[in-house]
Structure 1
């Protein structure tokens, strides 16, 4: 009998990562989550998620979590920090996850970053870019490390995040000029759809709510199905 494989999730304690955890478990995926602290452990375990304590900034912790007996099919990471933080996981933490995922021979790696990273810098105003610059630089470094890793990847760059319930209006686009808002629950739904989408392989996609765009730009939606 083969051991069932897992989706490995980093960032499940809050925000988009928590919404992804709920989306995955609702679809009966087996999920293993890396948590820095015990704070949300009980909640995640109640959802049926296998929890491993460890810090993504420590590569040994990541290896212990990801290179165990249970095979990892895919990795999803939403980890990051704020511009004011002295230490952020946006690059180093995600780099560790990418490097260990290569060792684990995972089939897919989904990295959630932000509009404003990489070539989507053109989507944001100079004022917003100045405020977010340290974070966006780290996010772009993580994106480039993933692209160069040889892994099958999808990079998803959400717009401004809100915490309300999903609207169902979340869309993806390869157009780096698009900016807008999106609910975290809608980002999670898009991530889960990309997980099983060959069309999303090796793509960089911006995620916005079709009804919450900045301006009224015309753009081509990306179909993940």
Structure 2
């Protein structure tokens, strides 16, 4: 029987790949997209779309109340330098609260290597550029862990938009840092969704076959946006 999955962050690289995988195997996916977001690719995948701001309680509550869901997946992020509350923290808090309220006991969340006990795995340059993200995602992880939900957290390092390699893997070694493609990360998220043994675990997700570290991990500045 197909599963019914609620997805936040579906217009991002990893969220879109998750939606593709779930829809391809016949699961029913409902993606919550922000007003004005480009959801064209999601529509071609065949998922149901709900327009709503994950930073507002009303739309989040409405999303959970729109159907009965087996699980919720969040890949919410925050654009570097964007003003206002961070979706990966404030949005996570609203999602967790709604999941508890509506009895959706299973939640999977993508954060990043560098959060929580993994701060030692990243370079000083990562901390310099992404310190706010690390702080917010660390707090988001704590919220989820303390919620009583059946959680799984996946922490990617550098994220590549290249085609899947099939060699991305998850590990409980929180000292590991590396790059992984969004497609392989999505595969690991779906594998965790299907495996109850991953409940209560926090994984680092890397592809050890990708030898080139991410720019920040190499000590380089991020390229200036044009």
The answer (yes or no) to whether the contact 1:179–1:213 under 8 Å persists in 2 is no
Secondary structure of 1:189's counterpart equals helix
Please list the CA deviations of residues 109-142 of structure 1 after superposition, one character each: whole Å capped at 9, or x if unmatched: 0010000011111100112112111011000111
Q: How many residues align?
A: 212
User: Structure 1's 54 and 28: CA in aligned 2 closer, same or farther, altered over 3 A?
Assistant: same
Alignment correspondent of 1:223: none
Alignment correspondent of 1:137: 135
Bigger CA drift: 175-184 or 83-92? 83-92
Secondary structure of 2:50's counterpart equals strand
Secondary structure of 2:88's counterpart equals coil
**Correspondence list, 1:1-225, <5 A:** 6-68=4-66, 70-87=67-84, 88-212=86-210
Bigger CA drift: 168-177 or 42-51? 42-51
Cα distance between partner residues in 2 of 1:109 and 1:190 = 14
- Alignment RMSD, CA only? 1.8
The answer (yes or no) to whether the contact 1:83–1:133 under 8 Å persists in 2 is no
Structure 1: 5+ residue stretches without partners? 216-225
* Deviation, structure 1 residue 108: 1.0
Please list the CA deviations of residues 129-173 of structure 1 after superposition, one character each: whole Å capped at 9, or x if unmatched: 121110110001110000000000000001100101100001111
Please list the CA deviations of residues 13-38 of structure 1 after superposition, one character each: whole Å capped at 9, or x if unmatched: 12111111111111211000000025
* Deviation, structure 1 residue 66: 1.1
Structure 2: 5+ residue stretches without partners? 214-226
Cα distance between partner residues in 1 of 2:154 and 2:179 = 14
Give TM-score, length-normalised by structure 2. Answer: 0.89
